[in-house]
C-alpha cells in the first residue's frame, strides 16, 4: 500500500475513536467552518450566493448519512425538500447532492427508492439537478440499482458517481452506459480493503484518467471532481487536443479547498462547481477531508491546540 493510502487508512481508523471524535467536535470549530458552510440552510444559501458572484456554482449538500430509523430518513427527506423549494426561488444553477444511506438505504432499498422518488418529483419541475452520491463499496451495488430504477421511471435530472479506486468501476461504467448518465468521477474517499480497491495512488490516478477519457469518448457529460493539479492539467490538455468543447464537462471541487484555482478555472470559461456541505452532522465529512490531504491534519492539530 502506498504512503498516501496508508495515511488515509490510519486517519479514518483514528477518527472512529469516540474520544477523538469528542475532542475534535469540542475544539475544532474554526476548521469546520473552513469546509462546511454552516449548520443552517440560510448559511448554505449565503455561501452559494457568494460563490456565484465569483463565477463558481454551488452543489448544496445537507450532511447526514447511515441513518438508523425510518423516522430519521423521512426527516432528512423533508429537509432536502426544503432545500429544493428554496433553490427554486434562486436565479442561479440549482444542484444538490444526496446520500442513499441518508434516505434509509441501510434500512430498506425500497424506502430509499421511495424517498428519492419523492425528492425527484419536486426537484425536476423546479429545475433542480440531483446527484446521487456514492458511498463505500458495500453500498455501491444497491446505489446503482436505485439510479437505474429511477432513470427507468423517467427521471432525467439525476446524476451518478463512480469511484476510480474500486476495481469494479470500469465494469460499472459499461453497465451504466445505456442510460447515458451524467457522470461525476471521483477517486474515492472511504477506507476500503485491498481486495476491492487499488492499493497505490498512481494506479488510482491512472484509472481516473482512463475512465474520464473513456466517458468523454462515449459522449457522456463528465463532472471531474478532483483538486489534483496534474489531473486537471491532463484533462485540459486532452479535451483541447481532442476538440471537446467546454460545455461537455466540468470541474468540481470542495468548498474551502483551492478556492483560487476554482475561480481561475471559471475565469477561463470552464464550468466549475464547489461542493458546499451544511448541517449539524459534519464529523464524518470532516474526517474524510483530513484523510484526503495530510496538510489538513496540521490544521486540525492547530485548531485543537488553539481551541
133 has catalytic annotation: yes
Instruction: At 72, list the grid cell.
Output: 430519521
For 120, list phi and psi in degrees, rounded to 5. -65, -35
Task: Choose, from 106, 133, 136, 172, the residue flagged as catalytic.
Answer: 133
- Give which of 44, 37, 134, 33 is closest to 87, Cα–Cα: 44
Strand partners, 130: 96, 158
106 has catalytic annotation: no
Q: What is the DSSP letter of 91?
A: S
In whole angstroms, give the CA distance from residue 217 to residue 180: 12
Q: Up-side HSE of residue 51: CA atoms within 13 Å toward CB?
A: 31
Task: Choose, from 184, 273, 288, 289, the residue flagged as catalytic.
Answer: 184
Element (H, E) at 131: strand 128-132
Per-residue CA distances from 219 to 90, 127, 213, 240, 247 (Å)? 30, 23, 10, 15, 12
The residue count for the chain: 307
Instruction: At 210, list the grid cell.
Output: 482512463
Active site residues: 133, 184
Amino acid at each position: 500500500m502506498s504512503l498516501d493510502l496508508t495515511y488515509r487508512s490510519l486517519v479514518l481508523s483514528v477518527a472512529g475513536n469516540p474520544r477523538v471524535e469528542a475532542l475534535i467536535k469540542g475544539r475544532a470549530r474554526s476548521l469546520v467552518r473552513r469546509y462546511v458552510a454552516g449548520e443552517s440552510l440560510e448559511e448554505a444559501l449565503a455561501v452559494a450566493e457568494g460563490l456565484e458572484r465569483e463565477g463558481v456554482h454551488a452543489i448544496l449538500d445537507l450532511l447526514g448519512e447511515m441513518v438508523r430509523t425510518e423516522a430519521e430518513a423521512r426527516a432528512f427527506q423533508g429537509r432536502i425538500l426544503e432545500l429544493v423549494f428554496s433553490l427554486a426561488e434562486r436565479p442561479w444553477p440549482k444542484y444538490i447532492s444526496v446520500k442513499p444511506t441518508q434516505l434509509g438505504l441501510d434500512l430498506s432499498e425500497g424506502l430509499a427508492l421511495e424517498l428519492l422518488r419523492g425528492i425527484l418529483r419536486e426537484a425536476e419541475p423546479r429545475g433542480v439537478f440531483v446527484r446521487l452520491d456514492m458511498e463505500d463499496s458495500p453500498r455501491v451495488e444497491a446505489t446503482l440499482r436505485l439510479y437505474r430504477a429511477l432513470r427507468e421511471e423517467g427521471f432525467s435530472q439525476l446524476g451518478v458517481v463512480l469511484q476510480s479506486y474500486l476495481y469494479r468501476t470500469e465494469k460499472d461504467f459499461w453497465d451504466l452506459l445505456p442510460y447515458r448518465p451524467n457522470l461525476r468521477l471521483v477517486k474515492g474517499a472511504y477506507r476500503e480493503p485491498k481486495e476491492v480497491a487499488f492499493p497505490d495512488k498512481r494506479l488510482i490516478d491512472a484509472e481516473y484518467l482512463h475512465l474520464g477519457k473513456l466517458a468523454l469518448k462515449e459522449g457522456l457529460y463528465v463532472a471531474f471532481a478532483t483538486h489534483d493539479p496534474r489531473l486537471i492539467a491532463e484533462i485540459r490538455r486532452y479535451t483541447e487536443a481532442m476538440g471537446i468543447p467546454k460545455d461537455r464537462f466540468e470541474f468540481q471541487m470542495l468548498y474551502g479547498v483551492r478556492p483560487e484555482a476554482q475561480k481561475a478555472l471559471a475565469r477561463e470559461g470552464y464550468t466549475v462547481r464547489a461542493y458546499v456541505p451544511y448541517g449539524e452532522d459534519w464529523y464524518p465529512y470532516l474526517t474524510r477531508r483530513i484523510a484526503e490531504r495530510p496538510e489538513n491534519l496540521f490544521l486540525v492539530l492547530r485548531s485543537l491546540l488553539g481551541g
